[in-house]
Amino acid sequence: MFELINYIWIAVAVITFLVLVIFKIKAPYGRHSNAKWGILISNKWGWFIMELPAFLIMPVITIMGPTDKNELTYLLILLWVIHYFNRTFIFPFKLRTKNKKMPLLIVVSAILFNSVNGFLNGYFLGYLNTEISSVVSLNVIIGLVVFFSGMHINKAADKYLISLRTSNESYQIPHGGLFKYISCPNHFGEVVEWIGFMIIACNLPSMTFAIWTFCNLSPRSLNHHKWYKEKFDNYPKKRKAILPYVL
């Protein structure tokens, strides 16, 4: 039953990806924010509220579960907490967007998304995982390199994008680093992070989450890329959206 739930959730991810891309739907927050999607709340507090369930649910369920925990289990918890501590308690309050708001509907949708992914990963580790894997193994070493590389890309891109708003309230063309190749290195970095997590965990829920991350962020990256090209006549023509040279 648990495997079936994961496969259904993967199917939902793929369908969501196709709907967003085919119908060119723009999630109405950030630069695409508008009031047509109902009640609006503070952008910063919206981010905090919608990321908090992920920060809490996975670690709590894992630790409360009856399965034996080992170093690998606690490593996965640590990586999860490191990522979501930044997304919940640091990133939202670094934003330099004055009085910007997002629809409450987006916050509620993100709470559901984060809760399901946190539950699936936490429940597997806390209740179903009976294989005691070593933390000193090739997949863990490779996964850690991939995870922290993705985290560095994500945080560096976010920091740079935020810095562009310090002296100018309007959007600007980002340059340098991976921005030379793609419009959204921050999204690319987050996809890479969860691929690294999947390599370390080697289980179905972590793969489900990695797939969902790509299916969720790649349509948004395509929308950002299109927005940049429409707003700036001099936008670099060879840039892709999220995957260098590909997409």
Query: What is the C-alpha separation between 38 and 226, in angstroms, rounded?
Result: 25
H or E stretch at 42: strand 40-42
Query: What is the C-alpha separation between 173 and 29, in angstroms, rounded?
Result: 19
Q: How much is the pLDDT for 79?
A: 98
* Structure token digits, residue 90: 């640091």
Q: How much is the pLDDT for 35?
A: 63
Report the chain (247 residues): mean pLDDT per 10 consecutive residues.
96 94 73 68 90 96 94 96 96 80 88 96 93 85 97 94 73 89 96 98 96 95 91 91 91
The answer to whether the predicted template modeling score (pTM) of the entire model surpasses 0.85 is yes
Q: How much is the pLDDT for 118?
A: 97
Query: What is the C-alpha separation between 218 and 224, in angstroms, rounded?
Result: 10
Q: How much is the pLDDT for 101?
A: 84
Cβ neighbours for 15, distance < 8 A, ≥ 6 positions apart: none
Q: Return the SS3 of 40.
A: strand
Query: What is the C-alpha separation between 166 and 160, in angstroms, rounded?
Result: 10
